[in-house]
Structure 1
Amino acid sequence: MAQKNNQSVERAFLILEAIADNEGIGVSDIAREVALNKSTAFGIIKTLDNLGYIFKDETTDKYHSSFKLKELGEKGSAGIGILEFARPYLEQLSKKYGEIIHFVQAEEDVVLYIDKIESTKSIRVHTGIGGMMPLYCTGVGKAILATRSKEEIMNYLNKTKLEKYTENTITAKGDLSKEIFETKKRGYAIDNGENHEDLYCLAVAIHNKQGQGSHAVSISLPLFRKDNYNLDEMIDDLKKVRNKIEKYF
């Protein structure tokens, strides 16, 4: 029989996660997010504040994670690699959506697939771990490309031959430039059957300490299942996973 969690400890960690996932959050919003009444939440928040793991911005009455908490996280993650660190968050996406989850690393002008969770549904895509694909025709690649400076993006476009993988692959450099800068503006990338026909993909880049897009995570699904999902919610979930993985750096 599984041992039950200590309720007080569990509540404290839920509150820490709620604060870490938001850029400043008030007591009422924290209580709502962790499903506690306001007075109970406030007591735990006050203790975490006294211990120095969070702090209150007196001008906004909102709480933030402290340097002490971030330092503790860095100590904990120092002994593990990014694959091991990221895997639980990839599994969260897989459990919720049951679609293909990819995790890639940027390697100059290509992406290297370093982890993958297969769909639990009727689809398989042959993107093996260790495989490489161009930046311009994949969601993960475009997400990474969009984190680069305007000069770096233009240099990439000028030197790259845009080969056609499907009917939807963007091969006109003007169109691809527009797509990359739209991706930069909206904060996530879309692959609309550009690499694998009839496959739709949403992706977000993961930034390292230098602010560079060093990795990316994506959810891929067949176009015919696209309308089954709330895509705004899917994008939001990808961004939450990105924020958590970025704590590795």
Structure 2
Amino acid sequence: MKKDKRISSNNYVGSVVKALRILDCFTRSQPRLSLTKISQQLELPKSTTLNLIRTLEHGGLLIRTPGEQNYQLGYKLMELSYNLSSSLQIVHYARPVLEELQTKTSEIIYLTTHINGRVLYLEAMYPSIRNINYSVIGKTLPMYCTGCGKAMLAYLPSEEIEQIYDTWPLQKFTPNTITTHDELSEELKRIRNHGYSIDVEEESIGVKCVAVPIRDSTGYPVGAISISGSLMSMKDNLLDGYAENLSNVCNSLAPYSSLFPAAQMRAIYSQETV
């Protein structure tokens, strides 16, 4: 397979790359890590790892877990995620239609894009009656096990899909997670035939969602919107209607497709590979 030219540049600062790799070590399954674990995972000397960690601590990107010799992601990242959402023009244009969709369905509405083979959450609208004490804005998840991710993945060029397969293994999150490429290929065909994706407890137990991609004038998927709720509230007889509502909203945002991060990154990569 042809080498991805997007990662072929040598114009990077090594220490910054290593620091970013440290941040990537923290996941939902391992939110707290020790110095030893981080250095082993990245195959870096402890002294180098400690210096990088102290730098990240100074910037608020990492904090030491109270009462433990472990580290966790710092609250500065949450601040940055809110700043990201506020600075994106597409979020500004999308909010009115997302709010309208949320009012109509009384479910959670997510606006997403994709970056580096993962779903990136740009905005979320929650029902006022629910006590939500967390935010997904700025969070990334795999594409193969989320409604929005599958909706976008289904319309990506085959070469880009192969690169995602090579980069991100099909990790099992729940008993319903797709874990083989053959099964995923069949699922993507189904999504293309129907125009929308469904996620039934593939990434989170008890959660069901339907999602539709937002595509540019060439058909490239730059984003997706989903309606998400509990298994009880997201009844099967509602899904076709929800998908139609989503399609209408996505079509209304298609003229702004160039404002999605996925579109902007694609434009940058295209210039680099010319």
Q: Which category describes the TM-score, using the shorter chain as reference length?
A: 0.5 to 0.7
Tell me whether 115-124 or 209-218 shows the greater mean CA deviation.
115-124
SS of 1:164's equivalent in the other structure is coil
Among 200, 203, 207, the alignment partner of 1:192 is 200
Q: Deviations over 1:91-139 (max 9, x none)?
A: 1110101111000111021011110011345575955201111111100
Match of 2:228 in 1: 220
* Amino acid aligned to 1:164: K
Given residue 190 of structure 1, which amino acid in structure 2 is its aligned partner? Answer: I
Distance in 2 (CA, whole Å) between partners of 1:207 and 1:214 is 6
Q: CA 1:103–1:198 in structure 2 vs 1: closer, same or farther (change >3 Å)?
A: same
Q: Deviations over 1:123-176 (max 9, x none)?
A: 759552011111111000000101113343344334431111111111122111
Partner of 2:127: 119
Correspondence for 1:88: 96
CA distance in 1, matches of 2:233, 2:158: 35
1-structure distance, mates of 2:229, 2:103: 14
- Partner residue, 1:143: 151
SS at match of 2:233: helix
Could you give the per-residue CA deviations for residues 190-244 of structure 1, whole angstroms, max 9, x where no partner exists? 1111011111010011112443111110000101112285221111000000010
The answer to whether the 8 A contact 2:207-2:231 is kept is yes
Q: Report the counterpart of residue 240 of structure 1 in structure 2.
A: 248
Equivalent in the alignment of 2:179: 171
Cα distance in structure 2, aligned partners of 1:189 and 1:213 = 13
- Which region of structure 1 is more displaced relative to structure 2, 151-160 or 237-246? 151-160
What amino acid sits opposite 1:217 in the alignment?
Answer: I
Give the alignment's TM-score, normalised by structure 2.
0.57
TM-score (norm. length: structure 1): 0.63
Ranges in structure 1 where 5+ consecutive residues have no aligned partner: 1-79
Larger deviation, residues 114-123 vs 235-244: 114-123
Q: Given residue 132 of structure 1, which amino acid in structure 2 is its aligned partner? A: T
- Give the Cα separation in 2 of the matches to 1:211 and 1:118: 29
1:209, 1:236 → 2: CA distance? 20
AA aligned opposite 2:231: L
AA at the equivalent of 2:176: N
Taking the aligned partners of 1:129 and 1:151, their CA distance within structure 2 comes to: 28
Provide the C-alpha distance between the structure 2 equivalents of 1:204 and 1:238, rounded to a whole number of angstroms. Answer: 6
Secondary structure at 1:225's aligned position in 2? coil
**1:113 corresponds to which letter in structure 2?**
Y
Aligned residues: 170
Gaps of 5+ in 2: 1-87, 258-274
Mark the CA change 1:112 to 1:94 in structure 2 (over 3 Å): closer, same or farther: same
> Do the aligned residues in 1 keep the contact of 2:209 with 2:234 (CA within 8 Å)?
no
Contact 1:170 1:176 in 2 (8 A): yes
Cα distance in 2 for partners of 1:125, 1:111 equals 21
How much has 1:181 moved relative to structure 2?
1.6
Moved over 4 A (4+): 121-127
Cα separation, partners in 2 of 1:198 and 1:123, compared to 1, 3 Å: farther
Question: In the superposition, relative to structure 1, how do residues 202 and 228 fare at CA in structure 2: closer, same or farther (>3 Å)?
Answer: closer
Q: Percent of aligned pairs with the same residue?
A: 35
Counterpart in the other structure of 2:110: 102
* Aligned-partner Cα distance in 2 for 1:235–1:103: 14
- Structure 1 vs Structure 2 CA RMSD: 2.1
| Structure 1 residue matching 2:103: 3-state secondary structure | helix
Paired letter, 2:161: I
